[in-house]
Structure 1
Amino acid sequence: MTAQVFIDGAAGTTGLEIADRLAGRADLSLIRLDDTRRKDPAARREALNGADAVILCLPDDAAREAVSLIDNPHTRVIDASTAHRVADGWTYGFPELEPDGAARVAEAKRVSNPGCYPTGFLALVRPLVVAGLLPPDAPITVNATSGYSGGGKAMIAAFEQADAPDATDTAFRLYGLSLGHKHVAEMQVHAGLTTAPLFAPAVARTYRGMIVQVPLPAAPPLEELRQALQEAYQGRPLVTVVEGEEAGAMSVVTIERQAGTDRLELLVFGNEARRQARLVACLDNLGKGAAGAAVQSLNLMLGLDELSGLRL
């Protein structure tokens, strides 16, 4: 019997990406509401409770409301908003982050989908904290740039439509200047840090793609950093740690490097004489940073092939 899946918020950027990955799969059946019923509370409640699994692609408050509408013990939930990423009772949907992460997701009733920036940051930092190469109280800066699709429909319009209210022709811009971005708590908690990282996000004029950088001004040897990452993700097919010789031969890293995939690529660059390192994660903000991660968790929760519907 095929599993019934309902995407609440299927008209948004992430929802459309998820639906695209699930389309045509014989092991799943999508519950769909037409435009006249999408905002009908009774129709939504029926769909939420009639599904084996629900994926919420909603603003935070709407996501909390949707969870409150589920009144049965059967329906399992993946929340792509930030509402539950550090909440008690929710499993963090990053299967590779901990040794038993995939098993935790597979068993969970409630899963919070990671943010795109935190995915790159945590993939780089968490293994180093566990290995003792980064102290939990280390002052850490994360510099990251996303394609503009990460801002949803409003930002897409701003970059693509000259008559949009916030239309822009810029190539690159910084934001989050108050250093109060909502991703910071997620980064700190799941990395196991006692000090909040300084998060400096930016957006570039490319539709999709992401680079996350963590500079280390007093770094352990580069090979120790690389080895800790390789050991953490050994056998995990979506995460690749670039070998030292290959990384050493690189002169540039582009934001589009993993665009269009659901992969996560990690690189270690540096200067041994100066004891300086640059940790870099490349991913697609809509792939492993959003829709791809949700589909991966969905597969695990339903006992299906973990990689089904993903773009390798």
Structure 2
Amino acid sequence: MKYKIFVDGQFGTTGLKINEMLKNRSELELLTISEEEKKDIEIKKKFLNEADLVFLCLPDAASKESVALITNENVKIIDASTAHRTNPEWTYGIAEITPTQREKIKNSKRVCVPGCHASGFIMAMKPLIENGIVLKSQKIVCHSITGYSGGGRALIDAYEDPANKGKFDSQRPYALGLSHKHLPEMKHVLGLESAPFFTPSVGNFSQGMLVMSYLIKDELSKKVSKDEVISIYKEYYKGEQFVKIIENDIEYLDDGFLNAMNCNNTNTIEISVYDSEDYMLVISRLDNLGKGASGAAVQNMNIMLGLDEKLGLNI
């Protein structure tokens, strides 16, 4: 059996990547629409309702409009926008975060792809919250640096324009109003009383990211060592093929530095832990276009269609 797949928004960064990842899959038939046809609502509606599964790679408002056009109740939807990530009628698409989440995704017809920053933060904090180390009342500080591809075509073009050579060489913090669009899902999925104090930045590289969560040991509900935290992560994510827990950070680091790009072109997330007498730092490394976007979308598709979860994905 071939599954019909339609990518609504196939010309954007996430959509292009999903198409690239699926194009050689023999069990899938990709429905394609031209740039001109996508502006015709009736043609678009036809594609949306013919598919077995639809990826929505659109801005929030356009995503909601496309959902409203789907009248075939058998169509499964994976939305890569932020439109439905805190909607209880949609399933949050990180299969690894609870023992039952994978089954929820499998049985759902509406799944939202998490944000890239949110994925790194949630996967780092969830085991600590579930083990009573980090309290839901705690105020957590998080900083993230991501490749410029996360900003979509406009930012990619700006960084890669020869006329801008030297203009964007530094790390550039953004969302300095402290209200980044991933904050609602960070708070909602973890059940936090307050959203984290989160500051993202863009680096002068295309793909890859580091999400850094900062903890003050005196504020933790339990006294735990770095080794104990690593053991908690290993147990929590035991058997998860896309999650790697780093046990030896000396070998992991490159002369003391951590390269944001070493998970690129994979669906892997790596979690490493660092500490001092007073503080603890948890870093999630992932590809912002992989586990942070298109890779996560394809992983969810595989689960929803009952296929091998790692099909088309690199570890």
Q: For 1:46-61, what aligned pairs fall within 5 Å after superposition?
A: 46-61=46-61
In structure 2, give the amino acid aligned to 1:40: D
The residue number in structure 2 matching 1:39 is 39
| Secondary structure of residue in 2 paired with 1:190 | helix
TM-score by length of structure 2 reads 0.95
CA positional deviation for 1:182: 1.1
Moved over 4 A (4+): none
TM-score, normalized by length of structure 1?
Answer: 0.95
Q: What corresponds to 2:230 in structure 1? A: 226
For 1:221, give the aligned amino acid.
S
Q: In the TM superposition, what is the alpha-carbon distance from 1:247 to its structure 2 partner? A: 1.4
Paired with 1:127 and 1:194, the residues of 2 have a C-alpha distance of: 17
**Gap regions ≥5 residues in structure 1:** none
**2:254 aligned with 1:255, yes or no?**
no
- 1:229 is matched by which residue type in structure 2? Y
Amino acid corresponding to residue 241 of structure 1 in structure 2: I
Q: Partners of 1:168 and 1:311 in 2: how far apart?
A: 33
Looking at structure 2, the residues matched to 248 and 170 of structure 1 have their Cα atoms a distance apart, in angstroms, of 28
Report the CA distance between 1:216 and its aligned residue. Answer: 1.1
1:268 aligns with 2:267: no
Indicate if the aligned counterparts of 1:55 and 1:78 stay in contact, CA closer than 8 A. Answer: yes
Which range moved further: 216-225 or 74-83?
Answer: 216-225
Aligned pairs for 1:93-112 within 5 A:
93-112=93-112
Separation in 2, partners of 1:109, 1:258 = 30
1:289 aligns with 2:289: no
Residue 182 of structure 1 aligns to which amino acid in structure 2? K
Cα offset, 1:248, TM superposition: 4.3
Name the counterpart of 1:238: 242
CA distance in 1, matches of 2:168, 2:226: 39
Match of residue 5 from structure 1: 5
Equivalent position amino acid for 2:299 in 1: Q
Residue identity over aligned pairs, in percent, reads 39
1:69-84 → structure 2 map (5 Å cutoff): 69-84=69-84
Amino acid at match of 1:303: G
Q: 3-state SS of the aligned residue for 1:185?
A: helix
Q: In the TM superposition, what is the alpha-carbon distance from 1:231 to its structure 2 partner?
A: 1.3
CA distance in 2: counterparts of 1:145 and 1:29, whole angstroms: 36
The whole-number CA distance in structure 1 between the counterparts of 2:211 and 2:85 is: 19
Mark the runs of 5 or more structure 2 residues left unpaired by the alignment. none
Give the total of aligned pairs.
307
Which residue of 2 is the match for residue 120 of structure 1?
120
Tell me, in whole angstroms, the C-alpha distance in 2 between the residues paired with 1:214 and 1:8. 34
Shifted more, 227-236 versus 284-293: the winner is: 227-236
For residues 23 and 98 of structure 1, the distance between their equivalents in structure 2, rounded to whole angstroms, comes to 31
Could you tell me which residue of structure 1 aligns to residue 176 of structure 2? 177
Give the secondary-structure state (helix, strand or coil) at the position aligned to 2:142. strand
Is 1:300 aligned to 2:303, yes or no? yes
Deviations 1:132-190 (A, max 9, x none): 010111110110000000000010011111457xx943321000101111100100111
